[in-house]
Amino acid sequence: MRIIVFMITVLLLATPALQAATIEQQRDWFQQARSALDNHNLKQFNRLKDKLEDYPLTPYLDIWRASRVLKQGDDRLVEATLMAYADVPETINLRRSWLKYLAKKKRWEAAQALIEKSPKLASRFPEIAMVTSWNMSIDVDTAADKKATYANNAIRQFSERWKQGKATTSLSKSLHRAWVKQGHPTDIERWYRIGTFAEKGKWKKTRVLARSLSKQQKEWLKYWKAIQKSPEKALKAWPESLSELDGVVPAALMLDDGIKRLSRIDQVKAWAALQQLKVSQQQIAPEFFAKLERAVALRAARQHKQLASEWLAQLPLSSQNEDTRGWQVRLAVIDKDWSKTLSVISSMPAEERRQDRWIYWQARALEAGGHDVSANYQFAKLAAGRGYYNFLSAERIGKPFQIESSDIVVSDELIAKVENMLAIRRVSEWLFLNKRSKAIREWHFALADTDQLHWKAATVLASRWGWHDQVIRAAFKADEMGALLDRFPLSYEKIVMKEAKKTGLKPAAIWSVIRQESAFNQHAVSYVGAKGLMQLMPATARQVARKLKMGKGTPRLFSAATNIRLGSTYLAGIKERFGNLALAAAGYNAGPHRVSTWLERVPFDSPEAWVEAIPFNETRNYVKQVMAFVTVYEWRQHQKPSSMHARLHERVQEVSFNQTILVHDAVLE
């Protein structure tokens, strides 16, 4: 077998060249060969592939051929192909397909060997991995000392997946039977699985499980339904039977679900109920209650309720974290409680305390307390940097913004070395063929384990190619954050200038949103389905397109001109509604309705505090980034950067839910 694999490997790597060819001819032959393979024309496929000895993408043809043969039930090409092209990311797909094939064929020894060579397969295909372990434990050829390990791992993994409500297939049938023979599911396991379904309101899925419960436990299940229907009322009528030791797991599951549900309605009532149950349910570990208290307190804090500050402070030290301390500071800042601001920041671990945000708010608190010298010292430290808090600090003490671009210093020899890497040549070809997803995969696969110097070379190379999204990411890997000319491109300039003129937005604002949303990846797609440069959801794009009379249907969101037109119009509409770019950025990211809610809870008379108190981490960081990027993009346009303070304090106009017009001038401090 090893001789066959070796011979196939040699054939794959050493196909004789029949003729020299231009790169244009090779690209054409490559695409013809792919088409021939798709059409099952192996004669033409082989004839074309023989012409492509030196073409960078030829390995893909061999990998696709092995995949095609595997689908037909023959895996003899697979192992050799994986050995020959281990450095080509497309083999990841082939390896996954092979594992599924081996499981289907019940070739467990080969499957286990494959998983051991590629451990990530176990997390990708957990059911196959645990079934493979189980079958290895009953294989007569498995060493005795390994059988117990395989069996224990398989049973443990099955138990965990079963408790989590994970679906299984017929593949797991024999393992399931063995699991049951070993006394599973236990009552505790059964309750965890019930909990998984009950918390999601999937009560139909609990019916079969409930048949095995005792009469008492079935009553508990009815009580859980009552909790979900009316958490405040049900929690007050906590059954005494749940206070017994054998009720610990169901009690904890119900408490967690009930308190969290009540906290969505009323955090004060949830906190009060939690304190009562904490006293009466002492069979449940204190750590459990501390975790629930933290969840309720943080929910109240994100709704800007000042009482949350006291709750957070009461948490045991073991439950305090960066989130709890951060929200204590934010609530103190909203309340202009500067002494508490200083107290909480000073209690932070040193590394946390050194973050720009807390240095800035510490300086603001010192300033408010009349400690100008200490405050200015902190502002001056920040003013030397470049970013949201740095620009705010510079203005605070009348210093100019520190914006200048540094060059990426790397030798031409190293750039040439990186460019001539076979994997990078494949990247270049995929980019030429407009297959960006494959290019990105190759790029990161090739550079994943390289040092910062190679990433510097990669940054320069991507810049030469005009591959802006990867320039931005490579510069980060290379720690070249000062390379502003590379990291903040003026791409799509004609389109941006045109839409800025139409919408009244500053070009810098449009570029900043593009930079934050997609890093100039024209084909970006988010996990929720937002698309293109300005990451528009299709439904939003259709609404804006109708407003602009662009016709029916979903617009072409991967078109730069269309995406920027729709995104700029949408952003301008939100800015017109609120009158302020910071609020518009928040609305663009989280939705205008949420910004309306936040404005009703926290007035915008202190914009820096308002931004700091945005409930969503993503949106808070988004707004700060966009505001800072505007400053950089104004500099990129050879303009004198405008005052960030003035932009934050732009006139605010907001329409509340009852349509009352609320207009007020921002207070300039």
Catalytic residues: 517
Q: Which of 370, 366, 368, 512 is nearest to 381 (CA)?
A: 366
Two structure tokens written together for 437:
């997803």
Whether the Cβ atoms of residue 415 and residue 460 lie closer than 8 Å to each other: yes
Work out the angle at residue 161's Cα, subtended by the Cα atoms of residues 158 and 162, and round it to the nearest 5 degrees.
80
Strand (E) or helix (H) holding 196: helix 187-199
For residue 527 the two structure tokens come to 């996990």
> Three-state SS across 376-391?
HHHHHHHHCCCCHHHH
Cis before 185? omega within 30: yes
Q: What is the DSSP string of 62-83?
A: HHHHHHHHHHTT--TTHHHHHH
Amino acid at the residue 311? W
Q: How far is CA 594 from CA 527, 585, 598, in A?
A: 21, 12, 6
> What's the helix, strand, coil split of the chain in %, to 5?
70, 0, 30
**Distance (Å, rounded) from C-alpha 143 to C-alpha 173?**
24
Residue type, 510: I
In the block, residue with structure tokens 């100008």: 372
Report CA 232 to chain centroid distance, whole Å. Answer: 35
CB of 578 within 8 A of CB of 586? no
Contact 571, 517 (CB under 8 A): no
From residue 279, give the alpha-carbon distance in Å to each of 246, 259, 638.
Answer: 18, 15, 65
DSSP string for 487-537: HS--TTHHHHHHHHHHH---HHHHHHHHHHHTTT-TT-B-TT--BTTTTB-
Spell 199-208 as b/e; 16+ CB within 10 A means b. Answer: beeeeeebee
